[in-house]
Amino acid sequence: MSFEEIEAIGICDWNKLEPKRFTYKPQYLRPYDVDVKIIACGICGSDIHCIKGHYGKPFLPLAVGHEIVGYIVGMGAEVDKKKFAIGDRVGVGPECDSCGKCWRCEHGIENNCEQMVTTFHGTYPSGVHSQGGYANYVRVNNKFAFRIPDDLDTISAAPLMCGGITGYRPLLTAGVKKGTKVGVSGIGGIGHMTILFAKALGAEVTAISRNDKKREIAKKLGADHYVSMEDAKFPSEFKNSLDVIVNTASSFSEGRVKSVMSMMRPYGKFIFVTAPGAGQKLELDPGFMILGSYSVSGSAAGSPEEIDGMLQLAAAKQIKPWVETLDINEKNVTQAWKRMEEGDVRFRFVLTGYDKCFGN
């Protein structure tokens, strides 16, 4: 099967966060592309940054969404038939294409390719724009489609395609294992999945949040400790308590990064996934960094191999994000974005009901 037009829901005006239906012509089917009929898509914090113009305003209309699960309904002639068949259930995350030629791609870290095409808001070398998963179909390079293990249900798998891998990868690269003292700062979509993965790896987990509101729910997620940044004892009484901090807060603007970092023991690793608006800076105090012998790094989603590994681990340990499902339509997407901005979701929205919206 191949198609000329895809139906989507997205923004048509940067000043109005009211998504509307539109159709678009996808990038032509390359020999190594697959066509995916979408059945679910999570709403990531990056969707909100993007529609608000934080990543620039390159084109309209624009459909976001990069926590996609669907079925393969078409593929190019060169797709390995041992890897994929029509009808396979696959996930697609924040990346849909990379150059395939640079040092990074040749070393299997396509998530760091400087010419990558993001699943939405990107532009292919042909000049065609990429559109995301608030749509009936998506066409992607098969390298960025991942088979969902049979033991993982679709609704749980969707948020893992971005939030799951983004939260898991820092734990993997920091060598988190049984007993590692891990702090997770920012308990939203990615933060809550980071807690679930850290617990599955046997870590002792501290949830760090801007206020006290999530104390009980963090415990239910499995966090061993909770630190509110409003606590009068923060950060002084919590110093030297953590080996690794994964910073998933959506902004550095509140200037609390140094206080959170001071919770680390010397040689601690602070890994941020925060992708704030263009121009926002992460400020580091050299003396503080030297005295703590701290490491600071950023982390982008995950490589294809890491994504496969994350999905296997999630299936084996039955790691299930906490989600609220919503039928995809203009009204529900508007509401979901509004509630995301207000932090009113525990912890991820997943759009479903695609056939009701777009037909079969």
Ligand X SMILES: NC(=O)c1ccc[n+]([C@@H]2O[C@H](COP(=O)([O-])OP(=O)(O)OC[C@H]3O[C@@H](n4cnc5c(N)ncnc54)[C@H](OP(=O)(O)O)[C@@H]3O)[C@@H](O)[C@H]2O)c1
Binding residues vs ligand X (CB under 6 A): 44-46, 49, 94, 162-163, 166, 186-191, 209-210, 214, 248-251, 253-254, 273-276, 299-301, 340, 343
- Rounded distance between C-alpha atoms, residue 177 and residue 181, angstroms: 9
* Residue among 7 and 95 whose Cβ is closer to ligand X: 95
* Residue among 301 and 333 whose Cβ is closer to ligand X: 301
41 binds Zn ion (CB under 5 A): no
Which residue's CB atom is positioned nearest to ligand X? 188
92 binds Zn ion (CB under 5 A): no
* Residue among 181 and 192 whose Cβ is closer to ligand X: 192
Tokens of 326: 């919503």
- Rounded distance between C-alpha atoms, residue 241 and residue 49, angstroms: 32
* Residue among 34 and 246 whose Cβ is closer to ligand X: 246
171 binds Zn ion (CB under 5 A): no
By CB under 5 A, name the one of 36, 105, 152, 323 that touches Zn ion: 105
Beta bridge partners, 135, equal: 8
- Rounded distance between C-alpha atoms, residue 118 and residue 94, angstroms: 6
Q: Which stretch binds Zn ion (CB under 5 A): 162-170, 247-255, 291-299, 327-335?
A: 162-170
- Rounded distance between C-alpha atoms, residue 259 and residue 215, angstroms: 19
113 binds, among ligand X, Zn ion, none (CB under 5 to 8 A by kind): Zn ion
46 binds Zn ion (CB under 5 A): yes
Cβ atoms 165, 158 nearer than 8 A: no
Q: What are the C-alpha distances in Å from 200 to residues 80, 86, 211?
A: 33, 33, 26
Nearest 5°: the CA angle 29, 34, 35 is: 85
- Rounded distance between C-alpha atoms, residue 73 and residue 96, angstroms: 17
* Residue among 29 and 300 whose Cβ is closer to Zn ion: 300
Q: How far is the CB of 291 from ligand X (least distance, A)?
A: 25
Tokens of 71: 């079925």
- Rounded distance between C-alpha atoms, residue 139 and residue 137, angstroms: 7
* Residue among 301 and 313 whose Cβ is closer to ligand X: 301
Q: How far is the CB of 94 from Zn ion (least distance, A)?
A: 5
- Nearest CA to 42 out of 160, 150, 123 is that of 160
Q: How far is the CB of 46 from Zn ion (least distance, A)?
A: 4
- Binding positions for Zn ion, rule: CB under 5 A: 44, 46, 98-99, 102, 105, 113, 162
